Amino acid sequence: MAAVGLSALITPSLSVMAEVARALDERGSNVPLLIGGAATSRTHTALVLAPLRRGPVLHVSDASKAPVVLHDLLDPARRETFLAANALEQQQVAEAWQRKQTSTLFLSYAEARERRQRLDWHGRYFPRPLRPAEVVCEEVPVREVLPLVSLGSLFTTFDLRGTLPDLLHHPAKGGAARALHADALLRLRRAADLGLLAGRTAHAVFPANSQPGEVLELYADERRTRVLGRLAMLRQQRPGADGLCRSLADLVAPAGLDLPDHVALLVATAGGDAAARLALGPLDDDYERLLCEALADRLAEALAEYVHRFIRRTSWGIAAEEALSPEDMLAERYRGGRYSPGYPSWPDHGAKTEIVGLLGAQERLGVSLTEHWAMTPRSTVCAMVLAAPEGTRFAIERVGGDQLAVFSGITGVSPEGAALRLSSQVAEEQSKRRTSA
């Protein structure tokens, strides 16, 4: 029996999944469509993907469960019951989502703006960066970033879920976790001893102010007359527990106040050959390849920590005296915050285009974007650094059509293109319109 399996690491791939579901339906195909990956969810599958075709669409949270699912589908005695249970579950998930929408407050964009986080800008100190708007690149050896490597999610990749160090002593998983830990440290320490490269970074600290419409305007110099780029943020339309509707734009001094605020951007990549650098043997061995690719991802994250510290202490100077331990840094006890496009407070994957462009990361680091904003090489991260200590973690779960229209006007992309950049939030909004139509 044939089946189609699709995986989405970041949300823009969800729209490609929708295209595939539609295409299968148009061809009258009844093959099961299996959905998985970090960016997928039962809710999105039930609300958006399943209604797009008459054939079965199944969300499978773990790829190792796919054979079990296929086995149920193959067995004529179980198939119908299995599919009926899946359909019922999807209906319940969709209904629960509908209930949540009607029971939680969702404000208009105008009302949400009224509830913005209002910082007291009076008397605030704005340090001057060393080289405003100038891109600084660095090649960083493994030994410099080794203390900043957080191995936590390496264990998730190998399906060993739990938190370190407890996981290493877990009665059932401890043995495998310790073996993996030892293999990881061996490769990282060897790379450090040999003086190998962890990767490369590019960053710049731009004079910047916020503008109405949740826009961060980045300038060429401190006179702030020439605009180098605009980053469009988004705003929560569902208030948080404190009643505020947050946006990252609230954390940057508004243009009208004439204050010399800044925003730093960074790209850090372990490079396309990072796994090969780390490997002890040929990468055609599955374990070696998976381990070294996952370690390359860890290096990319550590490089981001490293360059972020350099920005705080040196190139921007918002925490010139900082002497945090690596543990404190990984626990984000530094001044200000680092925010990445694609994460809940900035769910706009398209913003990577501006970051990569403003830093010239393609020419300088060889980092490019696919048509759906995945960065290549894969072990690459990009982020924005803000100085305001009032920043907290928040999630923009849904964006209304009113805000989408403003976002679309600012970014110059069509509402459909904007929906693709923002992905599931908007997909859910669209699906709500479909179900209520």
- By CB under 6 A, name the binding residues for ligand B12: 5-7, 9-11, 34, 36-39, 60-63, 66, 153, 156-157, 159, 297, 300-301, 340-343, 374-375, 378-382
Pick 288 or 297: Cβ nearer ligand B12: 297
Rounded least distance, CB 4 to ligand B12, Å: 8
Question: What is the smallest separation between the CB atom of 422 and ligand B12, expressed in angstroms?
Answer: 10
**Tokens linked to 230:** 């605009």
Residue 154 vs residues 89, 164, 180, 342: alpha-carbon distances, Å: 32, 11, 9, 20
Strands 227-232 and 375-376: unpaired
Instruction: Tell the smallest beta-carbon distance from residue 423 to ligand B12 (Å).
Output: 6
> Which of 129, 199 has the CB closer to ligand B12?
199
Please, what is the minimum distance in Å from the beta carbon of residue 276 to ligand B12?
Answer: 16
Q: What b-and-e string marks burial along 59-75, b requiring 16 or more CB atoms within 10 Å of the CB? A: bbeeeeeeeebbebbee
Q: Which is nearer to ligand B12, 7 or 98 (by Cβ)? A: 7
**Rg, Å, the chain Cα set:** 23
Measure the CA–CA gap between 417 and 54, rounded to whole angstroms: 27
Q: Looking at beta carbons only, is 70 or 119 nearer to ligand B12? A: 70
Residue nearest to ligand B12 (CB): 36
Q: Closest distance between ligand B12 and the C-beta of residue 277, in Å?
A: 16
Q: Between 155 and 219, whose beta carbon lies closer to ligand B12? A: 155
Q: Which is nearer to ligand B12, 287 or 343 (CB)?
A: 343
* H-state helical runs in 106-258: 109-114, 142-145, 152-157, 174-193
Least CB distance from residue 152 to ligand B12, whole Å? 8
Q: How far apart are CA 359 and CA 385, in angstroms?
A: 14
| Separation between Cα atoms, residue 148 and residue 313, nearest integer Å | 16
Give the list of residues 6+ apart from residue 278 with CB closer than 8 angstroms, or none: 187, 188, 191, 196, 292, 295, 296, 299
